[in-house]
Each structure stands twice: as C-alpha cells, then as structure tokens.
Structure 1
C-alpha cells in the first residue's frame, strides 16, 4: 500500500508562499478545519501561543491543496532562519507536451516561465542549448527555493 504524505516547505512568509504556489500549481488555499472560521482560530484551539500567531492575519492559510484531490497537501512552515543553500528537494512543474516537437515544448515552457515570473518567480538558469529531447528552465520562488519548469 502506498503512503499518504504532505510536502513541507520552510519559509518566512506563509501567506506569500501559499499565494504564489497556489497560482503556480493550480492549487487552492486550504480552508480552515471544520468548526473553525479561520486558521488562526483553529491554531488558538490547539493552544498555540498568541505570540506565535501575532504575524498571522485572520484569513491567512499556511497550506494549499489540489482541488481535484490528486496531488499532495503542501504546508508552508514558518521558520526564523533564511534559506542559505541549494534545496536538496525541488519541484518540477511539467507543462510541455512530451509528444510534441522540441521547439513546441520550448515555447510551452517559456510561456509558463513568463506566467510564473509575473507571479513573483525569478529565472535562475535557461539552457543555452536544449538537450536532444529535453528543455527545462530553473527558477526561484519568492523566497529563493529552486524549482524547474519543463
């Protein structure tokens, strides 16, 4: 039997990260658990100290979910330290039609890269020459986490 999992991404600003990644992946901000009007109210019910909730707006979500239920939940865990080194794990966003000609796939990837940079991503690396059958662009999300579009 396969295991269920969530992906956890350390960050400084969960609200900014949930907004970016929900738009990037076609996910939605996860609604507060049943019986709670907001995530802040939910965390209060768990006994999270008020000083830890000071920066959180009442309507902030710190997780996103696939509206179709196919992909994993992604939780953006606030941490005090900033990102310092390259990720050991990163997301690959697949947008290119693997059955199409390389030039068509390159155009599909470049179009998605334009959309993601408009959302706050930064291009890190574009291959000077695509591989024989592969083209992918490396980007940073708003907090500097690497991901690829291919």
Structure 2
C-alpha cells in the first residue's frame, strides 16, 4: 500500500485562500478528526497560545476521498520566492489539442474570476497561474 500524502500551503489569510482552493479543486472543508464534533473543539485540544485561532487554518479534502488533503495555515512571514513544489490543476476530457487548450483556457479564466492570476501561457500545453497569495500552480490537461 502506498503512503498517503497531504499538502500544506503557508499563507497570511487562511479563510480567503481556503475558499479559492475549494473553488479551484472542488474540495470541501475536511471534517474534524474523531472524536471531535467541530474543528474548534479539535483546535482547542492542543492547548495553543491564546492568539492562535482556528481561523488561522483551513483544512480541505476531496469529497470523493481520492486526492490528497490540503491544509492552509497562517504564518507570520510573507512569501519570498518561487514555490519549490506546486499544484497542477488537471482539466479532464478528451478531444483534439485545440479542444483541450480551450478547456485549459476556460479553467484559467474561471480561476481568475475566483482571485487567481495568469503568470504565463505555454500555448497548447499549460497555463502558469498564482493563487490570491502568489502561490504558483499550473492548469493543464488530464489526458493527451
């Protein structure tokens, strides 16, 4: 059995970035681990400093349970450099190269409306974007 992974993004506004990534990936808020009924109850169990708020994080998951979970956590320092690891948003569907490129462009346009920024386009292959806090990701086709 393969090891499961989760991804963590550092940020300054976890709620805003969480909403963007739920839109981008079709993810939902991850329920708190058992036996906790709420994320607030889970967070309080860690005995953290008073200024550490549950609102400083967002925990997202694939509603079908296949893709890695995504934790988004507030950190005090700003983003300073290009990501060493990035997310690829893979647009599904078959068809000609032109049809796949049209789907990628439509997805990039949808994510711009959600707060993303197009950084570069590699015509017919992928679109390099950034989320609202500047974390780079790519939009590409899921199938050739």
Same fold (TM over 0.5): yes
For 1:106, the equivalent position in structure 2 comes to 101
Report the 3-state secondary structure (helix = DSSP H, G, I; strand = E; otherwise coil) of the residue aligned with 1:111: helix
2:66 is the counterpart of 1:83: no
For 2:68, the equivalent position in structure 1 comes to 72
Q: Distance in 2 between matches of 1:110 and 1:118?
A: 12
Q: Distance in 2 between matches of 1:31 and 1:16?
A: 18
Q: Which runs of 5+ in 1 are unaligned?
A: none
Q: Distance in 2 between matches of 1:38 and 1:50?
A: 18
Q: Distance in 1 between matches of 2:128 and 2:22?
A: 19
For 2:119, the equivalent position in structure 1 comes to 124
2:10 is the counterpart of 1:10: yes
Report the 3-state secondary structure (helix = DSSP H, G, I; strand = E; otherwise coil) of the residue aligned with 1:114: helix
RMSD: 1.8
What TM-score, normalized to structure 1?
0.84
2:118 is the counterpart of 1:136: no
1:12-63 C-alpha deviation (Å, 9 max, x unpaired): 111111111011101101123345453233211221222112xx55xx8611
Please identify which structure carries the higher strand content: 2
Task: Tell me how far 1:11 sits from its aligned partner.
Answer: 1.1
Report the 3-state secondary structure (helix = DSSP H, G, I; strand = E; otherwise coil) of the residue aligned with 1:107: helix
What TM-score, normalized to structure 2?
0.88
1:102-138 C-alpha deviation (Å, 9 max, x unpaired): 11111101110111111110110113xx3xxx52111
Given that 1:83 and 1:144 are in contact with CA atoms closer than 8 Å, whether structure 2 keeps it comes out as yes
Q: Distance in 1 between matches of 2:135 and 2:65?
A: 24
Q: How many residues align?
A: 140
- Quickly say closer, same or farther: Cα 1:6–1:70, change in 2 above 3 A: same
- More displaced, 28-37 or 11-20? 28-37
- More displaced, 25-34 or 100-109? 25-34
Higher CA-based Rg: 1
